[in-house]
Structures are given as structure tokens and as C-alpha cells.
Amino acid sequence: MEELDLRLEQRKIRFGVLKALLVSVAVLTLAQVFGSRLMDMAALSLEQRLTFWAISSLSLIFWVLAGVGMVSTGRRYSTEDIRGSAYAPPSPKIAVASAFLQNTLEQSFIAIVTQLTLVLLLGAAALPFIAGSSVLFAIGRLTFLAGYPRGAGARSFGMALTILPSLFAFVGSVVALILGVG
């Protein structure tokens, strides 16, 4: 990639991340405001809070399963890929699906662990955040996948939309630990 193209792509990435930050803050704020109004979260037992988190985690695992399905289906119909990843890197036919699966595995692991940590440290106060995070994860994965073939700038919104709630949850958990909350 030429220097001029790299700079343009970097600008697109910054713009995509900024848009994702604004959308994330808006969605998570709305989730916090309306989530606490729809349900008395404080009345939920630890078991109910963990059940809420587990259900939310299933929505994240859905995207891992979708990626596995895309790769395995692509392998089944590709002469270059049918033998499996132990024999060769993915062909162009399944390269995007394979990259999507790998990134989704990474993102879902981080999201599931940070969300669980937040639930354990903050209790019911974390549940609306987790609901909003799951919505952002789904939108993020869709837009990441749709943008992938068009380059880093095109997939940056989806990538940032997926990771930002996890980063917020990580920072929130660390702050809760430092302050002795929970």
C-alpha cells in the first residue's frame, strides 16, 4: 500500500472509530436509562444476574457459531480448503470468513470475561450495560463482516463497535476493584 493510500486508510479508521465511540456511548446510555426503568435490577438475586449474563453470552456465541458455519461451509465447497487449515492457509474463497471467525473468537472471549467480571463486581447495575453491549456486539459483527472486503477503513466501525463495550467493561471493573466496589 502506498504512503498516500495508508494515510487515507488511517483517516477512514479514525473516522470509523469515532463513529463507533459515539454510537456506543449513545446505546449504552440508553440501555442504562431504560434498562433500569423496565426492570427492578436490584431485586435480582446473584443467580438471576448470572443467568442474565449467561443468556447475553449466548448472543455473543451465536456470532462464533456463524463464523464456524461460514468457514466450514466454505471449506466443503473449496478444493483448496477442504483438507483443512493444517495443510495450507485459507484460500481467497474463505479468507474473509476465516478472518471473521478468528476475530470474533477473540472479541467474544474478551466480551464474555469482562461482562462476567462486571456482573460480579457491580451486580445489578451492570445488567443494562451488558444488554446494550450485546446489541453493539451484534451490530459490530455485521458491519465488520460487511466492511471486511473493502479494507481496514471500511471494517473499523464494526471492529470498534465490538471492542469498545469490552474496553469500557474492563476499565469499569478495574475502577471498581480500586475503589473497593462490589
Domain hosting residue 18, numbered range:
3-179
Residue 37, C-beta contacts closer than 8 angstroms, at least 6 positions apart = none
Residue 77, C-beta contacts closer than 8 angstroms, at least 6 positions apart = 93
Inter-residue contact 173 to 121 (CB < 8 Å): yes
pLDDT, greater one: 87 or 39: 87
State mean pLDDT over 24-41.
Answer: 86
pLDDT tens for 157-169 read 999 999 999 999 9
Alpha carbon distance 169, 175 (integer Å): 10
Please say if the pLDDT value at position 4 is more than 70.
no
pLDDT band with cut points at 50, 70 and 90 for residue 182 = low
Residue 99, C-beta contacts closer than 8 angstroms, at least 6 positions apart = 148
pLDDT tens for 133-142 read 999 999 999 9
In the prediction, which pLDDT does 88 show?
87
What Rg do the C-alpha atoms of the chain give, in angstroms? 19
| Structural domains in the chain (count) | 1
Alpha carbon distance 131, 55 (integer Å): 10
For the chain, report the end-to-end CA distance as a whole number of angstroms: 49
In the prediction, which pLDDT does 1 show?
46
In the prediction, which pLDDT does 36 show?
73
Alpha carbon distance 160, 152 (integer Å): 11
State mean pLDDT over 6-11.
Answer: 92
The CATH number of residue 140's host domain is: 1.20.120.550
**What stretches of 63-154 adopt beta strand conformation (E)?**
none
